Chains A and B, each alone.
Chain A
C-alpha cells in the first residue's frame, strides 16, 4: 500500500523541487537555480565569460529572452554566436563603463519579470568602484528575482554579492593549452577549476574550455 501514501518522502520532494526550476549545464556539471542570484568570480581569463555564454546559449536556444548588462562595453557577439547563443533572443545594454547605470539597468530588467537570465557583467570595472556598491543593492535584486523565472548572474573579479547570492563560485585557470611550435603556435584551451563558495561539501569541479576558431 506504499503507493497510496499521501505524504511523499522528503527525498522525493527534494527531487521534484530540484528539477522544476534549475538550469543544468551538463557539459560543465553545474546547476543554477532560477529566481536567485548566482555569482561567478575569478581573475582574468578564468572562464567566467565562457560559462555565462554557455548559460545564455542554453536558455536562448529554447526561445527564452535573456539580457546582458554590459557595464564596460566588453561583450563580443561573435564569441556568443560561437558559444551557441541565439542573438535574436538577447537584449544587449551597453553602459559605457558607468557602474551606476549598470546597476539601474539591471534593476529595470529584474522588474520586467520574465527574462530567462539577466547577466550583470562587472568584469572590467575597477575594484574600488565595485567595493563602493552598497550591499542593499544585492538584497534588492534578490527580492526582485525571487518567485520569478529569472536567473540573475553576476560576474566580477572578486565576490561582491555576499549572502544575497544563492550560489557563488570562484573560477581559476589551472593551465592554458597551446598547440604547435614557434610562429605556428595556437591558443587551444583553458583548464578551469570551479570552487563553490557556499556549498563547502561540494568538490571543486574541473572543466576544459576550448577555443573555437571557426568563422561565424
Chain B
C-alpha cells in the first residue's frame, strides 16, 4: 500500500498551533508538530476521501474555515510533502504522484523546479553546484547517482532519496495525551485513613499501569476529593524525579494527606497522573554514595512530619549583613553536586550557636573583662579579643552589638555579646 503524508505550513504556526492540531486530528492519529506547521499521515484515506488531490482540497477547506493562511501539500513521502508545503505559504494545495494525470504532471514538475537551497545540502557543495549551473532539483536529477555518491560520500544518498522521492523518513508522532486519570465514586463517605489508602492503592495500580502502557513515567500526581459537606479538597504531589514505584507514591500521598487532612468524609476520589519521560539511571562502580531519590524524598517528608516542615532542608547562605546570615531552605533537597576544586587545607575552627543565647553576668575592671558567670559556664576570663562592633539594618530592625571572643580559664572559647546593657554568650568556638 502506498503511503501518503500531508503537511500544512502556516504563516504564524505558533499562534495557529491549536487549530492546526485540531485539523490534523480530523484526518490522522499519527501527527508530528513542526516548528512552522504540522505533518500527518493520511495513508488509507483514499478509500474514504479519494485521491491525494481531494485530500489536499479537503484539508484546505478546513484551513479556510478556520481562517488560517497557509499551504497544504500531500505527497507519498514526508520530505516531498514538507518541501512542497514550505515552497509557498499562501493558501494553496499541492499534491503529487497519485492524483490525476494532469495534476501529477503539474506537481512533479513543480517539485523538480524547487531550488537546491531547500534541501539539506552543505553550503560548499551548493556553491560547487551553483558554479556548475545546477540550481534546481531537476538539474541534479540529471547527474548519475553513482557519481554524486562517489564525490560527496555516502551521506549524500539521503539527499538523492529526497530528490528521487524515495521516502525513508516517517512521521514521528509528538502529540499524545499528557496525562491519565482515575476516578472512583464511593457508596459511603470514607473517613478512615486506612480505607482511603486502600482505595488509592487500587487506583494507583490502574493508573501507573496505564502510564507504563504509554511508555512514560510520572513525577506529578493531582489528587482531588469531593467531600460530604459538598466542598472539594485537592492535593498536588510533585517529585523532582520520575518514578513508577507504587509504594513510594502511596507513602508520599500518606504523608502529604496526613499533614493536611480533608475536613469531612470523602465521597469521590479523582487522581490524575501527568506524563514525563522515564528516568535514565546509571549505576556504576564509580558512583558516589547517595540515597535513592525516592528514599531521600520520603525520608525528608518523614523528618518534616517529625520536626516540622520548616526544620528540614538545605542550608543556604544569605548575602546580607546579619548576625546569622544563613537560612534553611525547606523546599530544597540535597542535590549531590560534585565540586571540582577540593579544599586542601586542614580543618578550621568551627562556630556553634547557643540557641537561644545564654544570658551572662560579666565583671569588668579597668575596662577589662575579668569574670564570666552563666548557669552553664563560669570562670575567670583568661584571654579576650575585641570589642568588635557590628551593626546593620538600621532602617528596618536595628542590629547593633558589641562582641568579644573570650577564653575562660579551664573552659572553652566563646563569643560574648552585649546588646545595650545585657550580656549574652552567643556561641562557642569548637
Contacts and interface: CB of A to CB of B under 8 A. Distances in A.
A212 B295 CA distance: 36
A204 to B, nearest CB: 17
Contacts of B407: 176, 178, 187
Interface in B295-354: 295-296, 298-300, 302-303, 306-307, 311-317, 325-326, 328, 333-339, 342-343, 345-354
Contact of A78 (B326, B338, B430): B326
Interface in A171-216: 173, 176, 178, 180, 183, 185-187, 189-190, 207-212, 216
Contacts of B153: none
Say whether chain B's binding surface is mostly helix, strand, loop, or mixed: mixed
Contacts of B428: 44-45
A154 B292 CA distance: 24
A91 B331 CA distance: 11
A63 B288 contact: yes
A48 B430 contact: yes
Contacts of A73: 353, 355
A64 interface: yes
Nearest to A116: B289
B45 to A, nearest CB: 55
A46 interface: yes
B366 interface: no
A111 B314 CA distance: 20
Contact of A54 (B337, B347, B354): B347
Nearest to B338: A63
B290 A114 contact: yes
Say whether chain A's binding surface is mostly helix, strand, loop, or mixed: mixed
Nearest to B333: A91
Residue from B315, B317, B414 whose CB has the most chain A CB atoms within 10 Å: B315
Given A97-B355, A210-B346, 20 more contacts: A47-B349, A53-B348, A54-B347, A61-B338, A73-B353, A74-B354, A78-B325, A79-B350, A80-B350, A84-B342, A87-B317, A88-B337, A93-B312, A123-B352, A124-B352, A124-B354, A186-B385, A186-B405, A187-B407, A209-B346
23 contacts: A45-B428, A45-B429, A52-B350, A53-B347, A77-B317, A78-B325, A78-B351, A79-B348, A89-B335, A90-B334, A92-B313, A94-B328, A98-B307, A105-B303, A109-B299, A124-B355, A149-B289, A176-B383, A176-B407, A180-B385, A187-B429, A211-B349, A216-B317
Interface of B: 288-292, 295-296, 298-300, 302-303, 306-307, 311-317, 325-326, 328, 333-339, 342-343, 345-355, 377, 383-387, 405, 407, 411-414, 427-430
* Closest CB pairs A-B (n = 9): A44-B412, A84-B343, A114-B291, A45-B412, A27-B346, A63-B338, A77-B315, A149-B289, A49-B430
